[in-house]
Amino acid sequence: MKLSTKGRYGVKAMFDLALHGGDSPLPLKTIAGRQEISEPYLEQLISVLRKDGLVKSVRGAQGGYLLAHEPDQITVGSIIRSLEGSMAPADCVIEDDPADCSKADCCITRGIWEKIRISIDNVIDSITLQDMIDEYNELRKQNKNYHI
Amino acid sequence: MKLSTKGRYGVKAMFDLALHGGDSPLPLKTIAGRQEISEPYLEQLISVLRKDGLVKSVRGAQGGYLLAHEPDQITVGSIIRSLEGSMAPADCVIEDDPADCSKADCCITRGIWEKIRISIDNVIDSITLQDMIDEYNELRKQNKNYHI
DNA sequence: CCTAAATCCAACCTTAATGGTAGGTTTTCA
DNA sequence: TGAAAACCTACCATTAAGGTTGGATTTAGG
């Protein structure tokens, strides 16, 4: 039940964008360097985030990426689901289109997988990039020793 | 974030053992047949469960497997963790020995992975095999149409 | 207008895990 | 003593992860 690097890198990159990005686009090279992620690999990930409408891109020199919405409108859940798909631990409890199973209505284990999915979704959908920024600033206030 | 078949088959097999097993050992062939799991594959899984003290085995003819404890003493969490390891979505938040990360004390994403792990653990550690049996019996009472 | 910086895109590649099979050895009840 | 069972080790095909490579396209700035 590991999250792959897709989800983890994606959240890190989006947080970096929320923290350091402003009105002018932030080039991927900067994000990748700061977060220590392979740039061409991150490129593939952010391409997915762009297609899902989480970031906007500006092409050409001085180009880069921008958050498509305010940080308090972007949840960690939307980032992770964009890159990893549903957080369902089994295909039979994927929210939008569950794999059909003949025993679905009387399967005891199914209820467990569903509870797990709901509990994960509750956590990740309740955290926004703004929450992460606030926490970062709080931590920064307490001990000067901060990086990302 | 899928659970592999190890965890899913393991829970199914243990539930089968709790439901149909008694004082005499239940052969793996019966469980595998009823749950539609490849017998030699399930053998590998139950071997892990045995080494972790969740089931006891009886060798020889008329042998098989028995739960090592009462159904209300065996949680879904203990089964899944035995077969899949920690439910931590990232190595830096594995409960017993987290992968060390230089930024651990000031990493914002780490807090998120930890919240996810805790919320999953809360769900799976709160469900015992007895709970599953109770739910099964309840379902059985309501509609006659029951299998596993 | 030219160039460098950037996004965009498609293909490839290596490694490890998944989900098994196959083929035996040992134990033990009837 | 035979059959049924657990036990054990090795193998294997497929897939996904986590990239790398090599280019094509766009565009601000000199």
The separation, in Å, between residue A61 CA and nucleotide D30 C1' comes to 13
Contact A106 B145 (CB under 8 A): yes
pTM: 0.95
- What digits encode the pLDDT tens for the residues A48-97? 999 999 999 999 999 999 999 999 999 999 999 999 999 999 999 999 88
Contact B119 A124 (CB under 8 A): no
* Contact present, A114 and A59 (Cβ < 8 Å): no
**B77 contact to strand D (CB, 7 A limit):** no
Where along chain A do its domains lie?
Answer: 5-86+129-141
**B29 contact to strand D (CB, 7 A limit):** yes
Cα B128–Cα A81–Cα A103 angle in degrees, nearest 5: 45
Query: What single-letter DSSP state applies at residue A117?
Result: H
Structural fold of domain B5-86+129-141: Arc Repressor Mutant, subunit A (1.10.10)
**B61 contact to strand D (CB, 7 A limit):** yes
* Distance between A114 CA and the closest CA of chain B, angstroms: 10
Q: Is A120 exposed, middle or buried (0-12, 13-18, 19+ CB in 10 A)?
A: buried
Q: Which residues of B touch A103 (CB under 8 A)?
A: 147-148
Of B4, B87, B115, B94, residue with least CA distance to A77: B115
- What digits encode the pLDDT tens for the residues B24-81? 999 999 999 999 999 999 999 999 999 999 999 999 999 999 999 999 999 999 999 9
Chain B residues 24-63 with a CB less than 8 Å from chain A: none
Q: How far apart are CA B75 and CA B11, in angstroms?
A: 10
Contact B106 A143 (CB under 8 A): yes
Band of residue B96 on the pLDDT scale cut at 50, 70, 90: confident
Q: Which residues of B touch A113 (CB under 8 A)?
A: 3, 8
**B43 contact to strand D (CB, 7 A limit):** yes
A108 Cβ contact list (under 8 Å, min separation 6): B15, B132, B135, B136, B139, B148
Quote the mean pLDDT of chain A: 94
Band of residue A145 on the pLDDT scale cut at 50, 70, 90: low
Per-residue tokens: B77: 């969490």
Question: Which alpha helices (DSSP H) does chain B contain, by range?
Answer: 5-20, 28-35, 39-51, 76-84, 108-125, 129-142
Strands B55-58 and A55-58: unpaired
* Distance between B92 CA and the closest CA of chain A, angstroms: 11
